[in-house]
Structure 1
């Protein structure tokens, strides 16, 4: 079966600066939750924005990005707009910034539906109320007219998820969807994403810097560093048998399980290109010999 998302040798450069993403290739299968992890500035969100066609005009995108076999690179803005919210959707980190503060949450979900489906206002409203209930908004019909500030941070994130799922997109990109939430609400949002994946068969690209989040819901994981994809593995293999030295250093720096009072390993601020090249070559040799 062809992957839902197929990225091949993608590169992104802003203006005349160094490449923000370098030669990244990955495939995400239908119904899979694929985690993309790495430090801030490693290129995770740049890849997400490249898939969604949300890079700024100063960006140069090379390579190939296919959604269900259709090439997205080179499509016009109008063609991408049709696909955003319909075939692919994105959950951003800050739910408040994703919602219009003066417009009821229900109408914002309904408008997403009407932008892509030939339905009446009443049909869109009914669908929006059903979605609000599906993502755990109690008394959804009554709360349809509430504006975003009348909801907690976790509830606003649920509204954003409902809007993203309004048209049953084949691909859902979640960019740090739980960063601003407390641990309890974070667990609820991750459980919700996993349940919606199981119920609807939605493919999820989950971007995070939190290895705990990866361990909870992801099937496979890609590790990013300075714009490069260093390693792709199943979640189990990543935690038990990490292949790349940077991945091992990243896992070792996790404070979970550390002895109280002991010093945590530190990842060097600048991991030299030579050391990365040597580590990648060693990884490729191991792969070639099974």
Structure 2
């Protein structure tokens, strides 16, 4: 049994399997989620719940956050019963959400003023990788808290890397997700071109999968296209948001600008579907 007490905020598609890895590893865990129905499965496992983020931080040594965007982070830190209202110091707060470097720097400074440590630690990978503890975790922050937290983070990922100071993890994640958006759109355009000229999607994706261009992502999303399966593993609305954040960082390259515009145009109609539903937007052009 590990003695470090952990807390988890955000029990969505990623938060649930990621937090389960801590339970499997024997870390004492308590959870908080704004929608209380998401806590029920944890209660059934005998896992404690907290009434607010502040109370969670007061009883945990390390608190993890996995939510959707900057607004949610702002609420978790600054809202009623937020983390900054906690009567606690010497804690480590690890934000694994994909958010802006700016909000990480802002809340990191506020945490430091209270004697706590903040790490931004977004992840590359989707639900399957979270379930298999095979995420890639990129971290921004001070080396000391990172080394303390690294053994816990390693229970969730196959690679845990400190990439720089506060916000650096967020920058790395937005750069990677820019590539993700470009690749998903590129696959969609490639399949569309082939179909327009008499080659079906299954044949084309088989060829790609056996070529130097093959990758797990191409395989998974190619299969989704072939099976007309657009149930969200990573919702298109999230890549649209990530590309907005990347644009705020200065994304202005040809492919980046094109991907940005495509996903913004697709979000209203296809935002709740998987990222590869971008093929539907491609076919509208």
Relative to its length, the structure with more strand (as a share) is: 1
TM-score above 0.5, yes or no: no
**TM-score where L is the length of structure 1:** 0.29
More RCO (CA 8 Å, sep 6+): 1
Which is helix-richer, 1 or 2? 2
What TM-score, normalized by structure 2, do the two folds share? 0.29
